[in-house]
Amino acid sequence: MINRKLFLCFFIILIVLTSNAFGRDGAPGGKWWHDSLISKKLNLTEQESQKIDALFVENMRRMIDLKSAVEKERFELRNLLENKTGNEAAVIEQFKNLEKTRSAIALERLQFLIRVREILGIKRFRELSSFSESSGRDRRRNNPLQ
């Protein structure tokens, strides 16, 4: 029974620590629409850039709140795991809460991409995605540790 609990704890900690290594979406990071090369390639207008700026600000405000919620859920999970009584049901429930909160972050990222796609249109959005994929391959080629 103790070995099972230790394994469960180790597994949960492993997931918590490695979760940030995954999850790249289909667009370049940062304020890519301010990059002259990308904006020129996409024929981005000033109005479109301003719309994406406003969308970015809204998105970042929500992401800050969601990331804070994830940290709170992680703390609660760590607290339960370090508790000597080790209530397995409470640990599993807290893990579900953490995953639900992480899922909200993924959904927020997806909604941002959907709104960007609405602004750009499908053709330019595909160009943006392919630009992101090719630049990601270049970065990995130049730095295989990424």
Tokens representing 50?
């301003």
Residue 14 lies in a domain: no
Does any domain span residue 106? Answer: yes
User: Which candidate, 8, 13, 24, 9, places its Cα nearest to that of 133?
Assistant: 24
| 125 lies in some domain | yes
Higher confidence at residue 19 or residue 54? 54
Residue 101 lies in a domain: yes
Question: Left, alpha or beta for 22 (phi > 0: left; psi -120 to 50: alpha)?
Answer: beta
Does the residue 127 lie in any domain?
Answer: yes
How far, CA to CA in Å, does 62 sit from each of 32, 48, 55? Answer: 19, 21, 11
The tens digit of pLDDT for each residue in 77-120 reads 999 999 888 789 999 999 999 999 999 999 999 999 999 999 99
**Structural domain containing residue 90:** 47-141
Q: What is the pTM of this model?
A: 0.69
Residue 55's pLDDT is what? 96
Q: For the chain, what is the domain count?
A: 1
pLDDT value, residue 2: 58
The predicted pLDDT at position 15 comes to 45
pLDDT in the model for residue 14: 42
Question: For position 74, which CATH number holds?
Answer: 1.20.120
Q: Quick check: 8 pLDDT over 90?
A: no
Angstrom distances, CA of residue 84 to CA of 4, 5, 12, 81, 92: 15, 11, 17, 8, 16
Q: What one-character DSSP code corresponds to residue 84?
A: T
Q: Is residue 5 part of a domain?
A: no
Q: Tokens in use for 82?
A: 């370090």
| pLDDT value at residue 112 | 95
Q: Which one-letter DSSP state was computed for residue 32?
A: G
| Structural domain includes residue 90 | yes
Q: What's the pLDDT score for residue 146? A: 44
